[in-house]
A = this chain, B = another copy of it.
Amino acid sequence: MSRSGSSKRSAKPSKPSYILDDQIGFILRQVWQRHAVIFGREIGINVTSTQWAALSKLAETGPCSQNLLGRLTSMDVATIKGVIDRLTARGLTETCRDPDDGRRLLVSLTRLGQQMAEKAAPNAAVITKETLAPLDANERETLMALLSKLR
């Protein structure tokens, strides 16, 4: 029942026509920010969501070249390098040259990294659940399906 929006009494308020808050890009950023807050509160092992992407993907695939890991986690080559550098500095990952291909840098989880991945996996599932908590089961499924089309 809100007023029609672009008119206030009989004045001419220059019809905005582009409202930032209605744009998908802006909404995506806000939803992402909310997710980041939930992530930081729940993950429990002092890693960022980006670092967690690398960790959990390594746990899924096993040792993997830095470049492939970047593609699997949708990270730029420069970004994945920084992430792996920091994870390695903290002893969660380690690297060695691929003996079969001198260009590749093989990345693997250390024992500590595996422990962390196992410890945080349940928390990560909780994060997903909490992020979607405002939606019911049907809505969650619908949202995931629609977002997947926009990847």
Contacts and interface: CB of A to CB of B under 8 A. Distances in A.
Interface residues of A, number: 47
B131 A24 contact: yes
A112 interface: no
A29 B32 contact: yes
A146 to B, nearest CB: 4
Q: How many copies, total?
A: 2
Q: Is the interface of A mostly helix, strand, loop or mixed?
A: helix
Contact of A17 (B19, B121, B127, B128): B121
Contacts of A132: 24, 150
Contacts of A149: 134-135, 139
B128 A31 contact: no
